[in-house]
Amino acid sequence: MDLNYLFERFQSVFSTKETPRTFFAPGRINLIGEHTDYNGGHVFPASISFGTYALATKRDDKRIRFHSMNFPSDEIIESDLSNLDFKKSDDWANYPKGMIQYLKNEGHSITSGADILFFGNIPNAAGLSSSASLEMVTGVMLEGLFHLEIDRIRMILIGQQVENHYIGVNSGIMDQFAIGKGKKDHAILLDCQSLNYHYAPIDLANHVIIIINTNKRRELAGSKYNERRSECERALLDLQSELDILSLGELSKEKFDNYKHLIKNDTDKKRAKHAVYENERTLEALARLKEGNIKKFGELMNRSHLSLQHDYQVTGLELDTIVETAWKQEGVLGARMTGAGFGGCAIAIVDKDQVNNFKQNVNTVYRDKIGYDATFYIASIGDGAKELTNEGVL
């Protein structure tokens, strides 16, 4: 499918002859640094070439009309600039509505309505951040359409606020950051406390990153995500009785081990251990990658998964089956779950020549044990959210 098809759909759904402008925001994978963002630690995500397209034109009135090609009908969800409050029946359109409302609240001059068509090719509910992608594509679309000057970090923070306060999902900053600041062939090392970041080229020699979707739906809002956050907050409070720290991300492994007796509850202790050790692992992984030691990088990914499995307990049978089977395959340097967990996707670093064997072997074991197929994609790391000026092929 090419962009011309999206143009045609736009003109047909909105009964117009106008040519819309086109914007794109990617999804993301996280290479390492899981459940560290809301603990003030480091993450190492990258934006991928799957994402969300938004085609839009301004209107003369205050109506905002949304259509998504991801649903089979020609349904248009309509709002008015004067009332952008969350409405359950508006379903997915609440994400763009929230962005419009929050940017308006920040004083950005969104003066007229718009017709907007969305098309997303991120696998549904796979934990590759389709919701942050929808938020960020709306941000760059509003910026372009209304000639706004929005600082990119501010736009990222607004995306997170929409997620936290408008939608009601208590997620960290990683997803919006990876999508808002992504760079082709690079991952981003982000310090989630200071928001300092830098890019690291992803050069895996003769290896590729494979994304493996468990096809078990991951519903973040209904999951144990908030419970993990509270467990970490409780552990931090206990540690603060003697330590002058703002987050678990400030602790080295040694310091944590010296003070962990302060954490009263054993479960909280395990969660905090993961947050601290995973943060150090992330920094070490970056150092090894810079030295070109991708073998060691892969080993750190494996350790990350084990910690998420045993200490943080967010993996589950589907992800563990994929990852443990991946570890046994020839040409695999490392594999781990990516994102929030509880289903969703894993990633593996695999020798290019072994990709077909890998897919076949992992899927055979997975299907036997779980009863349905996994889906495999070769990840390509693309740019962050932006306007598309050239007509491209999706």
- Chain residues in the site for ligand GLA (CB under 6 A): 34-35, 37-38, 171-172, 174-175, 339-340
| Cβ(171)–Cβ(220) below 8 Å | yes
| Pick from 344, 310, 348, 303: nearest CA to 329 | 348
Token pair for 171:
């997620």
Burial class (CB in 10 A: 0-12, 13-18, 19+), 19: exposed
Q: Which is nearer to ligand GLA, 166 or 358 (CB)?
A: 166
Instruction: Please state, in angstroms and rounded to a whole number, the distance separating the CA atoms of residues 214 and 291.
Output: 32
Token pair for 369:
């044990």
Q: How far is the CB of 39 from ligand GLA (least distance, A)?
A: 9
Instruction: Please state, in angstroms and rounded to a whole number, the distance separating the CA atoms of residues 182 and 156.
Output: 12
Instruction: Please state, in angstroms and rounded to a whole number, the distance separating the CA atoms of residues 201 and 301.
Output: 17
Q: Which is nearer to ligand GLA, 217 or 367 (CB)?
A: 217
User: DSSP 3-state assignment of 55?
Assistant: strand
Q: How far is the CB of 340 from ligand GLA (least distance, A)?
A: 3
> How many angstroms separate the Cα of 312 from the Cα of each of 4, 45, 352?
46, 19, 32
Q: How far is the CB of 113 from ligand GLA (least distance, A)?
A: 30
| Cβ(337)–Cβ(302) below 8 Å | no
Q: How far is the CB of 111 from ligand GLA (least distance, A)?
A: 32
Looking at 115, 175, 238, 311, which residue is catalytic? 175
Q: Which is nearer to ligand GLA, 116 or 167 (CB)?
A: 167
| Pick from 84, 69, 159: nearest CA to 116 | 69
175 is catalytic: yes
Instruction: Please state, in angstroms and rounded to a whole number, the distance separating the CA atoms of residues 113 and 110.
Output: 8
Q: Which is nearer to ligand GLA, 35 or 305 (CB)?
A: 35
Q: How far is the CB of 368 from ligand GLA (least distance, A)?
A: 29
Q: Which is nearer to ligand GLA, 12 or 196 (CB)?
A: 196
| Pick from 211, 31, 1: nearest CA to 126 | 211
Q: How far is the CB of 228 from ligand GLA (least distance, A)?
A: 9
Q: Which is nearer to ligand GLA, 135 or 175 (CB)?
A: 175
First vs last C-alpha separation in the chain: 6
Tell me which residues are annotated as active site: 175
